[in-house]
Structure 1
Amino acid sequence: MSGQLLRLYIAGRTAAASRAIANLEAIVAGLAAEGQQIALEVIDILERPQLAEDERILATPVVIKKLPPPVRRVVGDLSEHDKVLVGLDLKEA
């Protein structure tokens, strides 16, 4: 895969999870409009608890940039798009 892989971990379909999903989809759409290839996965840890354990998820919602390395994490509703992009190392500060 030549683009980025983002995984959003949520704990059920809560209001915070819905906000995080909407915000991350907006971020991904903006990056895609710039020509970047983005794959987005949303994982509910209530349905797949082993993944939460494997990734050492302590709080949700959390987005993890898996590819390209290095791995980066941002916790919260992801409403501050610029801070999320910098935190995920997808944009320079």
Structure 2
Amino acid sequence: MSEHLPPEALDEWGAVLRERLGLGPDDLPIDVILDLAADVARGVARPAAPFSAFAAGLAAGLAGGGAEHIRDAVAAVTQLAADWHAS
């Protein structure tokens, strides 16, 4: 078995995660999460991407866990990453 998941398998992996974790279709926006990770990796540092994505998910969950909460948390982290070295 390969150590890395091919990009075309992300939807399948996402479906497995959703099922196992009891999540709905809108609870795991793969593209949004990947964009967040890329923004943090470029704007801050690559190792900051996974825990930044986790922090955004945690914040969204604590705020209620809806799609709007996910968007708000991701936007906040993305803005922080954009501003990280701008000042």
TM-score, normalization by structure 1: 0.35
Of Structure 1 and Structure 2, the greater helix share is in 2
TM-score, normalization by structure 2: 0.37
Select the structure with the greater relative contact order (CA < 8 A; seq sep ≥ 6). 1
* Structure (1 or 2) with the larger CA radius of gyration: 2
